Amino acid sequence: MRTCPICEKGNFIKVEDIILEIEGYIFILRGERCTHCKEEYPYEEETSRAVTTARKLGVWPEPLKLHRRLSKSSGGLILRMPSDIEKQLNLSENTPIEITKIGNKIIIEPVVA
């Protein structure tokens, strides 16, 4: 078993119920999930299969919608940024962000310097 690089506490277990939503289409992917922080890592081939299917359906995988659970720390609730969004938007730990609440939705935007 591999130890989770995010929380360094949990181990990865194989799961078959990672939910990926592309433009309203739901894809269930196989992959691994951390037993501690619940971070999900769909297998590469599973993600590309979903993307290929989405393109056949005429939808482009933007916006990317991933399901995450908030975790608790002493200071409050923590949202882990999915690593693909982190890479796509070139985010780092010092990136200033703006949080906008619209109804029951939350928009998180990196502030461009």
Q: How many CB atoms lie within 10 A of CB 69?
A: 10
Smallest separation, CB 33 to Zn ion (Å): 9
Does 6 participate in binding Zn ion (rule CB under 5 A)?
Answer: yes
Closest separation in Å from C-beta 13 to Zn ion: 11
Q: To which H or E segment does residue 84 belong? A: helix 83-88
- What's the rounded Cα separation, in Å, for the pair 93 and 43? 26
Rounded-to-integer distance, Cα 110 and Cα 38, Å? 24
In the stretch 13-52, what mask flags binding to Zn ion with x, by CB under 5 A?
A: ---------------------x-xx---------------
CB of 65 to Zn ion, least distance (A): 21
Number of chain residues interacting with Zn ion (CB under 5 A):
7
Residue 4 as a binder of Zn ion (CB under 5 A): the answer is yes
At 24, list the tokens: 């309203």
Q: Pick the closer one to Zn ion by CB: 11 or 48.
A: 11
Kindly report whether the peptide bond that precedes residue 63 is cis, defined as omega within 30 degrees of 0: yes
DSSP class of 76: E
Which residues bind to Zn ion, rule: CB under 5 A? 4, 6-7, 10, 34, 36-37
